[in-house]
Amino acid sequence: MGSQSILVFFFFRAEQEVDFAHKKWRETKSDLHLTAVGCSARSLRGNAEKKALGRTSEPRR
């Protein structure tokens, strides 16, 4: 009977670690997604500002 309880303990422990790893992966994945969205928004805004500056600046001689 003692060996069965040890197996149950190890199985439960492994299941907890898998859940934790999956949760961390999901958090990391969402952070990466937010970072990518933030970067693309920033570059779009930067491009829009460059175009706006280009239109309002005096013509080059």
pLDDT tens digits, 4-57: 666 666 666 777 777 777 777 777 776 666 666 666 666 767 777 777 666 555
Residue 33 lies in a domain: yes
Query: 8 exposed, middle or buried (CB, 10 Å; 0-12, 13-18, 19+)?
Result: exposed
Residue 42 lies in a domain: yes
Question: Among all chains, which residue has been given the structure tokens 């570059």?
Answer: 43
Cα–Cα distance for residue pair 53/13, rounded to 1 Å? 59
Cα–Cα distance for residue pair 7/60, rounded to 1 Å? 78
48 alpha carbon, distance to own chain's centre? 26
Predicted local confidence at residue 10, as pLDDT? 64
Residue 1 lies in a domain: yes
Number of domains in the chain: 1
Residue 58 lies in a domain: no
Predicted local confidence at residue 40, as pLDDT? 66
Residue 46 lies in a domain: yes
Residue 36 lies in a domain: yes
Domain that holds residue 41: 1-53
Q: Which pTM value belongs to this model? A: 0.29
